[in-house]
Amino acid sequence: DIQMTQSPSSLSASVGDRVTITCRASETISNYLNWYQQRPGKAPKLLIYAVSSLQSGVPSRFSGSGSGTEFALTISNVQPEDFVTYYCHQSYTTPYTFGHGTRLEIK
């Protein structure tokens, strides 16, 4: 299975900050890398697909980058509603796998 190593596991930031979450795949996954946001008690919500494509309706402060095995999610100008948990997901090959999540906390 492809292992997805997400870091950091938690991150403290202030409103207005720019933050970056990284995800490393154990082997190349081309551009089959997606990012989700999850609020407590809710299902994950798609933010970014295919490394850098913004899902419809998602604010433009969210962006994705990377290639091969190294990827990043950047939130510029963090807003109060962004302090939740984020997951990366590889869909290059089954079994699809996810990172263990990054919890964004208010500093």
**Both structure tokens of 47:** 């933010």
At closest approach, how far in Å is the CB of 56 from another protein? 9
Angstrom CA distances, 104 to 20, 36, 45, stand at: 10, 13, 15
- Identity of the residue, 28 or 77, whose beta carbon is nearer to another protein in the bound complex: 28
Indicate whether 32 belongs to the interface with another protein (CB under 8 A): yes
What does the per-residue mask of binding to another protein show for 43-62, with x meaning CB under 8 A?
xxxx--xx--x-x-------
Stretch that binds another protein, among 17-25, 31-39, 65-73, 75-83 (CB under 8 A): 31-39
**Cβ pair 74, 19 in contact under 8 A:** yes
35 vs 78, which CB is nearer to another protein? 35
- DSSP assignment of 6-54 equals EE-SEEEE-TT--EEEEEEESS--TT-EEEEEE-TTS--EEEEETTTEE
Out of 7, 10, 100, 106, which residue is the one contacting another protein (CB under 8 A)? Answer: 100
Q: Is 83 in the site for another protein (CB under 8 A)?
A: no
